[in-house]
Amino acid sequence: MSRCRRITAWLAVAAVALACPLAASAHAYLVRTVPSASGLVGGSPTSVQLTFDEVVEPRFAIVSVTDAQGSQEVVGKPTRSTTDPRTIVVPIRHVDEGWYLVYWRAISADGHPVRGAFTFAVGPNPGPAPQFAVPSVSESVATPGLVGFRTVVFLAVLLAVGLFVFRVVLLRPLAARLPDVSFRSVDRAIVIATAVGLAATPLYVDVATARFALRSPFDLGAVLPLVHVSAFGRAFLDLEIALALFAVAAGAALWVDRSGRSQRTIAELLATAGALVGAVALLLIPGAAGHAAQTAPRAVALGLDWLHLATAALWLGGLVGLMVLAIGLGIEHRREGLASIVPRFSAVALPSVVVLLASGVWSSVLHLPTLGALWQTSYGQTIIVKAALLLIAVVAAACNLLRVRPRLRSHTVGREVILLRRLVGLETVVVIGAVVGASLLTSLAPPAKALALESKALARVGPGEVAHTVKTGGYTLRFVAAPNRAAVPNAFTVDVSRNGTPVRDAAVKLSFTMLDMEMGEQQYVLTESAAGRYTRTAPALVMVGHWALNFTITPRGGRSFGALIVDRAGG
Instruction: Write the pLDDT tens digit of every residue in 114-134.
Output: 777 888 899 888 988 787 776
Distance CA 376, CA 457 (A): 14
pLDDT confidence of 136, banded at 50, 70, 90? low
User: What mean pLDDT comes out for the span 342-347?
Assistant: 75
User: What mean pLDDT comes out for the span 297-325?
Assistant: 84
User: What mean pLDDT comes out for the span 533-552?
Assistant: 86
pLDDT confidence of 531, banded at 50, 70, 90? very high
**Nearest residue to 50 (alpha-carbon basis) of 20, 23, 21, 90:** 90
Distance CA 295, CA 543 (A): 26
Does residue 359 register a pLDDT over 80? Answer: no
Distance CA 266, CA 173 (A): 18
Does residue 9 register a pLDDT over 80? Answer: no
Does residue 16 register a pLDDT over 50? Answer: no
Answer whether 108's CB lies under 8 Å from 114's CB: yes
Q: What is the separation, in whole angstroms, between the first and last Cα of the chain? A: 55
Instruction: Write the pLDDT tens digit of every residue in 468-502.
Output: 999 998 999 999 999 888 767 789 999 999 999 99
Per-chain mean pLDDT for the chain: 80
pLDDT of residue 25: 40
Instruction: Write the pLDDT tens digit of every residue in 188-239.
Output: 999 999 999 999 999 998 988 888 777 888 888 878 887 877 777 888 889 9
Tell which wins on pLDDT, 276 or 260: 276
Angle at 142 between CA 284 and CA 319, to 5 degrees: 50
Q: What percent of the chain has pLDDT over 90?
A: 31
CA distances (Å), 565 to each of 207, 487, 547, 550, 553, in order? Answer: 41, 19, 8, 6, 14
Does residue 258 register a pLDDT over 80? Answer: no
Instruction: Write the pLDDT tens digit of every residue in 503-518.
Output: 999 999 999 888 876 6
Instruction: Write the pLDDT tens digit of every residue in 404-449.
Output: 566 655 555 455 566 566 667 777 777 777 777 777 766 666 666 6
- Number of residues that make up the chain: 571
pLDDT confidence of 137, banded at 50, 70, 90? low
Q: What percent of the chain has pLDDT over 70?
A: 75
pLDDT of residue 190: 96
Distance CA 18, CA 383 (A): 9
pLDDT confidence of 163, banded at 50, 70, 90? very high
| Residue 125: other Cβ atoms inside 10 A | 9
Tell which wins on pLDDT, 4 or 197: 197
pLDDT confidence of 342, banded at 50, 70, 90? confident
Instruction: Assign 570 to helix, strand or coil.
Output: strand
Distance CA 295, CA 288 (A): 10
**Nearest residue to 126 (alpha-carbon basis) of 35, 33, 36, 42:** 42
pLDDT of residue 248: 96
Helix (H) or strand (E) holding 556: none
Distance CA 232, CA 150 (A): 13
- The dihedrals phi and psi of 390, each to the nearest 5 degrees, come to -70, -25
pLDDT of residue 401: 63
pLDDT confidence of 296, banded at 50, 70, 90? low
**With helix as H, strand as E and coil as C, how does 192-228 read?**
HHHHHHHHHHHHHHHHHHHHHCCCCCCCHHHHHHHHC
User: What mean pLDDT comes out for the span 539-544?
Assistant: 75
pLDDT confidence of 11, banded at 50, 70, 90? very low
Q: Is the pTM of this model over 0.85?
A: no
pLDDT of residue 18: 42
Instruction: Write the pLDDT tens digit of every residue in 371-416.
Output: 777 776 777 777 777 777 777 777 776 666 666 566 655 555 455 5
Does residue 17 register a pLDDT over 70? Answer: no
Distance CA 157, CA 316 (A): 11
Distance CA 489, CA 128 (A): 8
Does residue 367 register a pLDDT over 70? Answer: no
Least confident of 12-16, 115-119, 151-155, 314-318: 12-16
Instruction: Write the pLDDT tens digit of every residue in 64-118.
Output: 999 988 899 999 999 999 999 889 999 999 999 999 999 888 877 656 677 778 8
Q: 367-406 burial by CB neighbour count: b if 16+ within 10 A, else e? A: bbbbeebbebbebbebbebbbebbbbbbbbbbbbbeebbe
Answer whether the bond into residue 463 is a cis peptide, omega within 30°: yes
pLDDT of residue 49: 94
Angle at 109 between CA 15 and CA 310, to 5 degrees: 30
pLDDT of residue 236: 87
pLDDT of residue 552: 94
Answer whether 143's CB lies under 8 Å from 444's CB: no
